[in-house]
Amino acid sequence: MTSHDDARAVTAHNPDQVEPPIPAQPREVPRYDVMRWRGRRSTACVVIPVINEGDRIGRLLGRMAALGVPEQADVILVDGGSRDGSLEPDRLDAARVAGLLLKRDPGRLSAQLRCAYDFVLGQGYDEIVTIDGNDKDDPDPIPDFIAAIRGGVDFVQASRFMRGGVEENTPLKRRLAVRLVHAPLLSLASGFHWTDTTQGFRGYSRRLLADPRLSIFRAAFSDYELLAYLNYRAPRLGFRCREMPTARRYPKGEKAPTKIDVRGEFRLVRVLVATCLGRYDPK
């Protein structure tokens, strides 16, 4: 669906010359159990954070299997504590899921991602793609994300709003918040022109996630902080960032599944402001 010709890329500076080295930070990773692991078979992986996604995760895994994603990248789920039976072994077997991690400590999305990134970096993956488990994102561009990272891009951000992207049934409040507040503020603060900054559909190089100047393994990243922080910090450090067009579809005629309530929206605003002010930067 996507092509590299439709993507915008920037290499701001040499990442080795932007800032002096930062001393190693304490490595803070929530406790997690490896519930399923068949071993690494690729240099690339797809990380899917889930919690009580019901049939949505089944549909996403089925679409990825039909596209042949498990042949190109190891699929790894990181569960925040699902209780709906959506991660039964038969379903994971049918979708050729390579790994399942279960977070044991408190925390939301960023805590799940810290578990996953700790695991995949430890297993030696070089290309790491993340996609939400709620089946809103078309997984078709996953191979393009992997190819871009192998070609030297450090951070690929999915965008439904750039040329070639598709958005369907996006709630008006969500659309205005991203287009008029979230993406503009992160663009201004980071120096990179972002159009879609709340999506979890992304690709990262190993070099980026392991860089001590980002220091992603900190307890400060527990809720949605890590997503905004990477949009802000990676361009400032000179990592090569790119947006690529994707399709994101909300269910038509029914309440869109979301983990973000009114209190969550206030938390997102607070996180956005703190990020743009550099309050999550390593000390």
pLDDT in tens, 63-104: 999 999 999 999 999 999 999 999 999 999 999 999 999 999
Task: Judge contact between 44 and 125, C-beta under 8 A.
Answer: yes
Would the CA dihedral through 228, 150, 32, 23 be positive or negative? negative
Residue 60 CA, chain-centre distance (Å), reads 15
Mean pLDDT of all residues belonging to the chain = 91
Residues in the chain, total: 283
pLDDT in tens, 153-163: 999 999 999 99
Parallel, antiparallel or unpaired: strands 44-50 and 127-130: parallel
Structure pTM? 0.89
Q: Does the structure show a pLDDT above 60 at 200?
A: yes
Average pLDDT over residues 125-150: 98
- All structural domains of the chain: 29-250+257-276 (3.90.550.10)
Q: What is the pLDDT of residue 252?
A: 83
Mention every residue, 6+ apart, whose C-beta is less than 8 A from residue 236: 12, 18, 190, 191
Q: What is the pLDDT of residue 19?
A: 56
